[in-house]
Structure 1
Amino acid sequence: MRRYAKPIVVADDLTSLRGRTAGVVTLPRHLDWSGSADYDLDGPGRIVDLYRTILIEATKPEDLHTFLDQATLTQLWPSIWLPPDLRRAWEERFPELKRTDPGATAA
């Protein structure tokens, strides 16, 4: 039996991530079809929910560029639950994300 594998989308460059970090963000249906596509980034935990949704559901790099912010992603990275293959793809492209893990030891 063949399993469905969603393509993994990774940004080309972290500096291209310039999304909003405050206020209400409404995601398009292709990213959040739950009916609750409004994310109040000033509310506790909502920015983590938004980032997890974008990282998992992105279908093209523009989704990442539009809704993610480099500094916020770097700060939140250790606390965002992601599928292992997705986390690995991002950390292979951007090793600096892996170093933000508070449990990692310095080389």
Structure 2
Amino acid sequence: MVSYGPGHQHTAERDVSTPSRWGPASDQLPSNLTELTGPTRGPVDLPLHLAWSGLRTFDLDDDKLLLGMYRIVLATGLHDDYIQFLNGDLLTSHWPRLRKMVGRGVRAAWEDAFPRLRPRTGQAAA
């Protein structure tokens, strides 16, 4: 094992139960996807703490904009942001595409917390 200092372990050798610094902490995730009661249609304005650079208004009737907004919220949001801006049904239906748009830590945190988001056998596990 390569050591870089006290408590550091090479990524490949890190215990799988160790959360990623690139994903949300488990206490930030909702306890159930039904808690995600965000909007399902129309324009949504994200606050500056989420969309601090570039586009802030997303029309959820446009799949490309919906996916972009969900990527931002999943990558930079916290518990209250998930509840306010994400919808459990939309997240579930778009997850096969979203999972490829978010980092490994975000993807792993959400799929570990909600196994139904994991790809079924035969689907690409990218």
TM range (shorter): 0.7 to 0.9
Q: Which residue of 2 aligns with 1:40?
A: 59
What secondary structure, in the 3-state scheme, does the structure 2 residue paired with 1:39 have? strand
Task: Return the match for 1:67 from 71, 75, 85.
Answer: 85
Computed over aligned residues only, the root mean square deviation of the Cα atoms, in angstroms, reads: 2.3
Aligned-residue offset at 1:36: 1.5
Structure 2, gaps ≥5 residues long:
5-20
Query: Residues 75-94 of structure 1 correspond to what in structure 2 (within 5 A)?
Result: 75-80=93-98, 81-94=101-114
Structure 2: which amino acid aligns with 1:27?
L
2:114 and 2:30 map into 1 onto residues whose CA distance is 9
Aligned-residue offset at 1:6: 5.1
Q: Which residue of 2 aligns with 1:57?
A: 76
- Per the normalisation by structure 2, the TM-score is 0.71
Structure 1, gaps ≥5 residues long:
none
Q: What percent of counterpart residues are identical?
A: 35
**Structure 1 ranges of 4+ moved more than 6 A:** none
2:121 and 2:105 map into 1 onto residues whose CA distance is 17
Structure 2: which amino acid aligns with 1:11?
P
Larger Rg over CA atoms: 2
Task: Return the match for 2:38 from 15, 19, 22.
Answer: 19
- Per the normalisation by structure 1, the TM-score is 0.83
Structure 1: which amino acid aligns with 2:102?
L
Q: Which residue of 1 aligns with 2:17?
A: none
